[in-house]
Amino acid sequence: MTMGSDPTGAEEQVVLLAELQHRVRNTLATMRLIARRSAEFSESLEDYTAHLDGRLAAMARVQNVIIQNPSAGVDLDRLVTDELTSALAYQEERTHVDGPDLRLHLRAAEPLALALHELTTNALKFGALATPTGRLAVTWRIDERDGGPHLVFDWVEGGVPLDEDASRRRGFGTVVLEEMLAYSLSAATTLAFAPDGLHYRLTLPLTSRTLHGGTGAPPPPLRPQDGRG
């Protein structure tokens, strides 16, 4: 053994490199999916460009948080407020954000950031943030379910006249909210169009794959089944 060598440090570097490789692969797979599925649901080149730009920007924001401190995980409250603030949608008199401190694993932060972008964009165009009477509550809690802790995340819009065609519209955002999170994170989701606005619930198992500080095998790339959109 070479004098001064540190086998423990070398092992840590190998682990970090493997984690970085998995992260880069999954991020690139997600970006390819975003580009392809955005094209499928876009009505024009301008529509495609606008949607793609917004989705890639959401991915860039979460990557910026990760780069600042890769070992710290991603704070859920920051993930929510960053998305709302970037879209100029965080309005204290109309937007309520509340939940316990929770740091997500990087593997969970990326798809959740994309879901938050889709929810925010929809709220600004058609939902609670598109009308002066609209209200938005984003809350989360930790429940004990099925023998383990689960994140229960609620996005509840109110004060929005019911659009009878809303539940019939299906775009890439619906794929993200209903399929991608279920596929990549084993989450349960509920998307409902109530008489006063959109209600979305995400129930996410807090395991080594989703909660910061755990270990475990990396999840497969995000790849919801084609043909369901």
What is d(CA 23, CA 17) in angstroms, rounded to the nearest whole number? 10
Q: What gap in Å lies between CA 163 and CA 195, rounded to an integer?
A: 8
Domain ranges (residues) in the chain: 9-205
Residue spans of alpha helices (H) in the chain: 7-41, 45-68, 76-86, 106-125, 172-175, 181-185
How many Å apart are CA 55 and CA 145, to the nearest integer? 32
Q: Is 201:190 a contact under the CB 8 Å cutoff? A: yes
For residue 184, what are the contacts with CB-CB under 8 A and spacing of at least 6? 107, 111, 219, 220, 222
Give the per-residue pLDDT at 163. 66
Q: What is the pLDDT of residue 60?
A: 80
Q: What is the pLDDT of residue 218?
A: 40
Which CA distances in Å does 224 have to 4, 16, 29, 37, 220? 49, 28, 12, 10, 11
Superfamily in which the 9-205 domain is placed by CATH: Histidine kinase-like ATPase, C-terminal domain (3.30.565.10)
Residue pair 142/154 in contact (Cβ under 8 Å)? The answer is no
DSSP H or E run through 141: strand 135-145
Q: Do 109 and 179 touch, CB atoms closer than 8 A? A: no
Tokens representing residue 75 in the block: 């704070």
The C-alpha atoms of residue 48 and residue 75 are separated, in whole angstroms, by 30
Q: Which residues pair with residue 144 across a beta bridge?
A: 149
Q: Which helix (H) or strand (E) holds 157?
A: strand 148-158
Q: What is the pLDDT along the chain (229 residues), one digit of tens a residue?
A: 455 555 666 776 776 666 666 666 666 667 776 777 667 766 778 777 877 777 877 878 887 777 777 677 889 999 999 899 887 777 778 899 999 999 998 888 888 998 999 999 989 888 898 888 899 999 999 999 888 999 999 999 999 876 666 555 667 788 888 888 888 888 999 998 888 899 999 999 998 878 876 433 344 444 443 333 3
pLDDT of residue 150: 95
Closest CA to 67 of 33, 106, 19: 106
Please tell me the predicted confidence (pLDDT) of residue 199.
94
| CA 37 to chain centroid | 16
Q: What does the pLDDT read at residue 170? A: 65
